[in-house]
Amino acid sequence: MRVLITGGAGFLGSHLCDRFLAEGHTVIAMDNLITGSTDNIAHLVGNERFSYIKHDVTNYIFLDGPIDAILHFASPASPVDYLELPIQTLKVGALGTHKVLGLAKAKGARFLLASTSEVYGDPQVHPQEESYYGHVNPIGPRGVYDEAKRFAEAITMAYNRYHGVDTRIVRIFNTYGERMRLRDGRVVPNFIQQALRGEPLTVYGDGAQTRSFQYVADLVEGVYRLLLSDEVEPVNIGNPGEFTIRQFAEMINEITGNKAGIVAKDMRTQDDPQVRQPDITKARRILGWEPQVDVEAGLRRTIPWFREELIRRGELS
């Protein structure tokens, strides 16, 4: 296949580039680099099946030649990023998804949308299954991301129903691993860096809020299987192992041997979900998929990458 990956220089996009190349496909990565980085794809330069185009997908996309599949992963994805980039976040989810769907229609390509557990908002149903409509505040600070992704799902289904575009929607739950941006402000990069520097981990609020963390390799496998499946309706891909943020901080301190403990900070964003855990019954049934890497094993793979990266930047000796 000749595959276009938008957000291809981002955390998830770059891992998808690796996977599709490893499977023998040709990959075009597209990114405007507002949160992505060419560092994430530097190792692919010289691969004749790989190319990179710097482009903002909210503008018209022109691509020569056939395209068989498009994975639309372009978007800021950290709460800190979308608070700083609210208009870009809305535009890429809305205008960007429209442009990329238009390209899929013109090329007769299969289209996969990277959606999110944020479509469930601060959920009143737990765990979250795909049939739950969510509990989203449209005008809160997270609304720019949540509503953009909800719109993206709606326009994806409209292109499927009205234009006959072959579409897939993955709802991605918290994912971590190598190549997360060091300063994206999310809990995994924050905690790992604090632990490696011997600083206390900043737990926002009382730390009783929960998240369920998935290692990036599991996400990539789920996305790959979903693309090849014939499921048009949304599928959750995440690890159901659920922890309070305080438990998660304690785990990172234990793995890294950090003795500096935890410090409470009053920094939770408005509408920060109190709980989050994927129901993956559908992914198990339809894709035969479930996570293979538990959170401790995933962190043991991820922490050394952060250490190397901090040393490379001269921020850690």
Verify binding: residue 272, ligand UDP, rule CB under 6 A: yes
Instruction: Give alpha helix (H) positions in the chain.
Output: 11-22, 79-84, 86-91, 97-107, 143-163, 187-196, 216-228, 245-256, 281-287, 295-312
DSSP 8-state assignment for residue 206: T
**Half-sphere exposure at residue 280, Cβ-oriented, CA atoms within 13 angstroms:** 25
In the range 208-237, which residues lie near ligand UDP by CB under 6 A? 209, 211
Spatial separation of the C-alpha atoms in residues 113 and 100, rounded to whole Å? 10
Spatial separation of the C-alpha atoms in residues 109 and 193, rounded to whole Å? 40
Spatial separation of the C-alpha atoms in residues 42 and 37, rounded to whole Å? 9
The tokens for 312 are 């490379």
For residue 127, say if its preceding peptide bond is cis, omega within 30 degrees of 0. Answer: yes
The tokens for 143 are 């609304």
Verify binding: residue 181, ligand UDP, rule CB under 6 A: no
Spatial separation of the C-alpha atoms in residues 270 and 27, rounded to whole Å? 39
Verify binding: residue 299, ligand UDP, rule CB under 6 A: no
Q: Which of 52, 82, 120, 145 is catalytic?
A: 145
Which residue, 183 or 300, has its beta carbon nearer to ligand UDP?
183
Which residue, 80 or 125, has its beta carbon nearer to ligand UDP?
80
Helix, strand and coil percent figures for the chain, each rounded to 5 = 40, 20, 40
Verify binding: residue 190, ligand UDP, rule CB under 6 A: yes
Verify binding: residue 174, ligand UDP, rule CB under 6 A: yes
Q: Is the dihedral of CA 24, 26, 30, 31 positive or negative?
A: positive
The residue type found at 192 is I
Which residue, 110 or 211, has its beta carbon nearer to ligand UDP?
211
Verify binding: residue 204, ligand UDP, rule CB under 6 A: yes
Q: Annotate each residue in 53-82 with x if it binds ligand UDP (CB under 6 A) or - if it does not, as one string.
A: -------------------------xx---
Minimum Å gap between C-beta 96 and ligand UDP is: 20
Q: Annotate each residue in 249-268 with x if it binds ligand UDP (CB under 6 A) or - if it does not, as one string.
A: -------------------x
Task: Look up 120 and say whether it is catalytic.
Answer: no
**Stretch of 23-31, 204-212, 230-238, 254-262 lying at the interface with ligand UDP (CB under 6 A):** 204-212
Minimum Å gap between C-beta 268 and ligand UDP is: 4
Which residue, 12 or 187, has its beta carbon nearer to ligand UDP?
187
Minimum Å gap between C-beta 278 and ligand UDP is: 12
Angle, CA 24 vertex, CA 20 and CA 26 arms, to 5°: 65
- Taking CB under 6 A as the criterion, the residue among 5, 16, 217, 245 binding ligand UDP is 245
Enumerate the active-site residues: 145
- Interface positions with ligand UDP (CB under 6 A): 78-79, 174, 186-187, 190, 202-204, 209, 211, 245, 268, 272
